[in-house]
Structure 1
Amino acid sequence: MARHALRNRLLTTLTACLASAVAAGAVAVSVLDRDHGHDHDDHAHIDTTNGLLVTNRSSLRMCVEVGGGTDGQAIHTDLLAGLDQARRDPNWTGAYGKARFDPATALTTGCPAPNLPDRVERTTVAGPGLTDDPSPYRVWVYVLDDPTADRILGVGRPADVATAELMREANSMWPVSTALLVRRSHLTDAAAVAPTLRAALGLVRVHQEPAP
């Protein structure tokens, strides 16, 4: 019953993102969908039975893009503190659990194809976009200095969530990786950043407050 409830919740979260994902994915089709029309049994497939979302992932991994002159180790420490808070969400165990999360390997500095948008909007893609070979990274974290954050997120806005990667399956496009765009100064408050991390991880809908 719990697994069935999790599957329904994950599908609901994906469906809530679908309208923007389809629009964003359509922009990326001509550039990034280089293998359309071919079915390969060894390729990844959508898997909503857990929070990793695709079959080629076995553990939660997040890549982290940081600006020049930024202390990467301090950012990793702050993100892990935020993840400690996010792991208190009641949906965490079903989505990731102990077997799918190891703090020692969860964070990697540098994303394979970073794509920082000019501004976060409903259809923003902050990553490779449509692909049939999704990366190992469930979340792509972009750590922004204040001037960059003001331009991309809006003046004073601490963080936002966008789509990083999508896959086409059953004639639809589904987001399978999320981008978290966050101010560096915001990361120092684990309790404040945890709700956005929950949204990026699919534990709650974007802009939905988590249950107490």
Structure 2
Amino acid sequence: MSKRYLRYFFDALDGQQKWLNQMAKKGYRLVKTTNLTYQFVKCQPMEYQYRVEFVADKYHRELKDYEEFLANMGYITMEKNMNLHYGIGKVKWRPWLRKGTMVATSPGNYNKELLIIEKKNDGTPFAMHTDHADIVSYLSKIRNTYLWSFLLLILLTILAVKEYEASDLLRNAILGCVAVLSAFYLYITIRYSLAIHKYKQTKKIYE
């Protein structure tokens, strides 16, 4: 027996990871995912654990090598979209990433910014990043993604409002939606910034 859910996560990493682990606790294992759908099958409650990894900064070959590495460790991986992009057709522009990964195409890393990682809940640690410097670097990439999304959203809205005429009602509705989304992106940016600061302070303590 399988269950299918339609979901979109603005909090693409923590929110999605929390939900997948909640489903696993109820006895549902993820077997397939698309841009907006998740398909589960029954399993023993808490039989599996999930992590959602940010991999948008990896080249296509690097991503495949990473998936192969995880498979050799006994993990199951599923590529997932983050839905934070500004593009036309099968091309995404991602200015917050390192040189060489700013543009994603299909075939390639288009709509593969995230990696859902599944592990048998056997009591062994399930941390993808353990070194403080690695954690800070990883969190910084995520923070920059949300920060750029916030800035680009504001910029595009300003340009659109100036360029196109619209009724006051429509204009206010658009600005209201943008304000809510911008506030969320800013909140996530601040949250990751605080986490980065925390790990940097912890590193100083142990040095």
TM-score under structure 2 normalisation? 0.23
* Structure with bigger gyration radius: 2
The structure showing larger relative contact order (alpha-carbon pairs under 8 Å, at least 6 residues apart) is 1
TM-score under structure 1 normalisation? 0.23
**Would you tell me which structure has more helix in proportion to its own residues?**
2
